[in-house]
Amino acid sequence: MTDPAAIAANLAAVKARIAEACRRAGRDPASVTLVAVSKTHPAAAVEAALAAGQAVFGENRVQEAGAKFPALRPAHPALRLHLIGALQTNKARDAVRVADVIESLDRPKLAAALAEAMAREGRRPALLVQVNTGDEPQKAGVPRAEADAFLRACIEEHGLPVEGLMCIPPVEADPRPHFAGLAALAARHGLRTLSMGMSGDFEAAIAEGATHVRVGTAIFGSRPYPPTA
């Protein structure tokens, strides 16, 4: 979707839902940042959201983010780009160049690659450790049992700027225990950023302490995928 009026209306509706969820949780709406997930949508859709006052965006692929966002930054200095998809180690340097926040740190090799990339680039985007709260074998994220040790290694051994945690609960599960567990893990390590909750469950995430919610479909509509043969 690239209709500016529709995107602006969708943004307003999502922000109203966030405000209501915060009211129910006794929280200030300003304590929750909306990350508009623009993956697979064209730069025109991002520009429409920017025109409607949205400044924080999420992308899955480094290459797609690099094609869209650098050209938009000069006119939009408040723009913040989060990389939220699984990140290959050979893309670490590109990710450090383009992103303000990388939300998918989840394994030792990637931690080492990001530390090296930051040293080479002289740029230190904020990092979130992705935790596989459901211990799902097909899903990215550090296993729950390894999360404490991995966090310590990222901060103490690699000196990485880890600011918080991210999770994607199992699709069929009640997300609340997953969000609560992530919040408890963050509290143990003194981390303030919790990226959790998407279009279908961000109200529950806000109730459990989310500071960032990642919403795509409710803003930009269904994702346009190229046709397959």
Confidence of residue 224 (pLDDT cuts 50, 70, 90): low
Number of domains in the chain: 1
Residue 118 amino acid letter: M
Residue 228 lies in a domain: no
CATH number for the domain harbouring residue 113: 3.20.20.10
Mean pLDDT, the chain, whole residue set: 95
Q: Is residue 59 part of a domain?
A: yes
pLDDT of residue 229: 40
Q: Rounded distance, CA 72 to CA 56, Å?
A: 12
The mean pLDDT of 106-115, rounded to a whole number, is 98
Report which of 58, 24, 20 is spatially closest to residue 41, judged by C-alpha positions.
58
Q: What is the DSSP letter of 100?
A: S
Question: Closest Cα to residue 161, out of 149, 174, 172, 151?
Answer: 151
| Separation of alpha carbons 160 and 112, rounded Å | 9
In 3D space, the residue among 181, 177, 182 whose CA is nearest the CA of residue 195 turns out to be 182
- List beta partners, residue 14: none
Evaluate if residue 79 carries a pLDDT over 70: yes
226, part of any domain: no
* Structural domain boundaries, residue 60: 4-86+97-220
